[in-house]
Amino acid sequence: MISFLNLKAINAVNRDELIEACTRVIDSGWYITGNELACFENDFARYCGTSHCIGVANGLDALTLTLRAWKELGRLKEGDEVIVPANTYIASILAITENRLIPVLVEPDEASYNLCPLKAEAAITPKTRVILAVHLYGQLADMPALLEVAERHNLLVLEDAAQAHGASLDGRKAGNWGDAAGFSFYPGKNLGALGDAGAITTSDDDLAQTLRALRNYGSHEKYQNLYQGVNSRLDEIQAAMLGVKLKYLDKQTAQRRQIANLYLEGISNSAIQLPCCPNPEQHVWHLFVVRSQQRDALQQHLTEAGVQTLIHYPIPPHLQQAYAQWNGRNYPLTEAMHQQVLSLPMGPTMSADDAQAVVRACNQWAG
Ligand SMILES: *Cc1c(COP(=O)(O)O)cnc(C)c1O
């Protein structure tokens, strides 16, 4: 069986260094908000090209706390609208509703699966304050056009960069386009911890300061609480793991791009639609997502051929029970995508032979 993602193999690449870093933390006697976190925050801010990186407990918190911080800073208030792609992973939307802001779901661009600047602009009302751009599947959204829309309408821009570590356009990386960006370091993400972790990148000093307080009970200084904050910290062990793995991210992205190129050049089947990638730097291939009218039959065929696949995602947010109030709405493009998308095996340790076997299995499918 060709597995969808082999996390054990990925972490085996730096096994000795990870163990060494773990040992360093154990022996330091300091386990929360110490030197490991400060070093990783510094390294990741430099990697993204922003002035600040604020480590938090996970990617959902990174998004939720950023919106919360903007409320504390008086830039947002309850009931303000946030434009977000209708086909995103539900976490982007949970961050909005958790803050009692209103998500305005917008159908994506058909070719990139990302927020369409024209449709986003058409959805703006007098209550709109934020564009939440998601770099879905690892492809940077059309940020130059979205920033133009935001500037014209005086909107904040938040990037959901949970799937796009290292994606770039014109030399500018994911996490460095919006007023702020949320990253996840969930183990299966392109930069993954060995547990939960997340971070916000921003070049806004006030926002960074507010976030540092919010993640730590609302406290800038011990026992002085400015806000009703939360406990959402990135611990020393995970920061140390991420510090090791960040050094290998670009190499691993290159390996993902090689697998993607084998798929793009090799798969030729009129019943399988390949992803579009106009600019190689813009995509870091967190997922390689194909489309088919007979998706379930394709998945079954691949399973029988020994190829493990997954669906990202089977149910769109507006059809989830959690958002029952939206269940009657129609987003035809989003709904079609959820019925048609299928993610092929992808990862930095996947061999070219395995990728070729996936190509053959796809090409053998009668459709
Ligand atoms: C993974 C993910 C998140 C949430 O990250 P967690 O660390 O799992 O909380 C948010 N948005 C997108 C697009 C994601 O893929």
pLDDT category at 367 given cuts 50, 70, 90 is: confident
CA of 27 to the centre of ligand 1 (A): 31
- The verdict on whether 247 is a catalytic residue reads no
Atom nearest to 135 CA in ligand 1: 13
pLDDT given at position 243 = 98
Atom nearest to 63 CA in ligand 1: 10
70 CB within 6 A, ligand 1:
no
Domain ranges of the chain: 7-104+112-242, 248-364
CA of 255 to the centre of ligand 1 (A): 22
CA of 84 to the centre of ligand 1 (A): 14
The residue type found at 224 is Q
Average model confidence (pLDDT) across the chain: 97
What is the mean predicted confidence (pLDDT) over 246-268?
98
112 CB within 6 A, ligand 1:
no
Give the separation between CA 367 and CA 298, rounded to whole angstroms.
Answer: 7
Nearest CA to ligand 1 atom 10: 91
* Predicted TM-score (pTM) of this structure: 0.98
Listed residue (334, 330, 261) closest to 291, CA to CA: 334
Residue 140 C-beta-side C-alpha neighbours within 13 Å:
28
Report pLDDT digits (tens) over 211-254.
999 999 999 888 899 999 999 999 999 999 999 999 999 999 99
184 CB within 6 A, ligand 1:
yes
239 CB within 6 A, ligand 1:
no
What is the mean predicted confidence (pLDDT) over 89-106?
98
Would you say residue 277 has pLDDT above 90?
no
Atom nearest to 286 CA in ligand 1: 15
Would you say residue 15 has pLDDT above 90?
yes
pLDDT given at position 222 = 87
CA of 353 to the centre of ligand 1 (A): 30
- CB distance 165 to 283 below 8 Å: no
HEC letters along 176-236: CCCCEEEEECCCCCCCCCCCCCEEEEECCHHHHHHHHHHCECCEEECCEECCCCCECCCCH
Report pLDDT digits (tens) over 318-338.
999 999 999 999 999 999 999
pLDDT category at 117 given cuts 50, 70, 90 is: very high
159 CB within 6 A, ligand 1:
no
92 CB within 6 A, ligand 1:
yes
Specify the CATH number of the domain 248-364. Answer: 3.90.1150.10
Would you say residue 54 has pLDDT above 90?
yes
Report pLDDT digits (tens) over 131-159.
999 999 999 999 999 999 999 999 999 99
pLDDT category at 278 given cuts 50, 70, 90 is: confident
Q: Which residues pair with 11 in a beta bridge?
A: none
Alpha helix ranges (H) inside the chain: 7-12, 15-28, 35-48, 59-72, 90-98, 117-122, 143-153, 205-214, 236-246, 249-266, 295-304, 332-340, 352-363
Q: Which H or E element spans position 83?
A: strand 81-85
The residue type found at 246 is L
CA of 181 to the centre of ligand 1 (A): 12
- Which residue among 71, 189, 245, 251 is the active-site one? 189
pLDDT given at position 221 = 87
Q: What is the largest CA-CA distance in the chain?
A: 66
Say what percent of the chain tops pLDDT 70.
Answer: 100
pLDDT given at position 220 = 87
186 CB within 6 A, ligand 1:
yes
**Topology of the domain comprising 7-104+112-242:** Aspartate Aminotransferase; domain 2 (3.40.640)
Residue 315 C-beta-side C-alpha neighbours within 13 Å:
10
What is the mean predicted confidence (pLDDT) over 298-312?
98
Atom nearest to 91 CA in ligand 1: 10
